[in-house]
Amino acid sequence: MSDTFSYFNCWFFFFLPSCYSYWENYFGSISPYFFASLGTALAVGLSVLGAAWGIFITGSTLVGAAVKEPRIQSKNLISVIFCEAVAIYGIIMAIIMQSKLADVTSPSAFTGYGLFAAGLTVGLSNLACGLCVGITGSSCALADAQDPQLFVKILIVEIFASALGIFGIIVGIIISGKCTFT
């Protein structure tokens, strides 16, 4: 009666020490290629999502404010370019990560988890950065429409915002450097 152990309880009481081996087997049987590939996808997918979000926030404000002040549209395209740079960070990271994907007989879980974390870091950091640059760029366009001398001053705020994407890609490159399947 006591030599068979039911793992049914582990679905509800997953913190029990007797359930560690169950979850280890469950978690450890997922191929590391799942994590590595998902990380690569999230790196570019979430970065592009952030860039798109920022571009539509900035772009819609820009064209709206340019109705009365058409002179602002050429200078304020730089806000749209800052958002696009966020997507470029994502695609650079994804290309670096996909070059690590190699088919071996026993892939190491360490590399899989590392590439997943790198992709998550880059993707979510760029999502936040793209949103921030978009909101700041839209307020820059509105301020420029009222007073031309404000453009350069509010651009300083946008430069602080785009630094967040650089932090993400720095950590992503450091993690990817540690990870190799072969």
71 binds another protein (CB under 8 A): no
Q: In angstroms, what is the minimal distance from the CB of 55 to another protein? A: 15
User: Which two three-digit tokens encode residue 73?
Assistant: 């549209």
163 binds another protein (CB under 8 A): yes
Could you say which residues in the range 24-63 bind another protein, by CB under 8 A?
24, 27-28, 35
16 binds another protein (CB under 8 A): no
Q: Which is nearer to another protein, 9 or 151 (CB)?
A: 151
- For residues 46 and 164, give the distance between their C-alpha atoms in angstroms, rounded to a whole number: 14
Q: Which of 16, 120, 181, 182 binds another protein (CB under 8 A)?
A: 120
- For residues 109 and 45, give the distance between their C-alpha atoms in angstroms, rounded to a whole number: 23
104 binds another protein (CB under 8 A): no
146 binds another protein (CB under 8 A): yes
Counting residues that bind another protein (by CB under 8 A) gives 46
Which residues contribute to the site for another protein (CB under 8 A)? 24, 27-28, 35, 108-110, 113-114, 116-118, 120-121, 124-125, 128-129, 131-132, 135-136, 139-140, 142-143, 146-147, 149-150, 153-154, 156-158, 160-161, 163-164, 167-168, 170-171, 174-175, 178
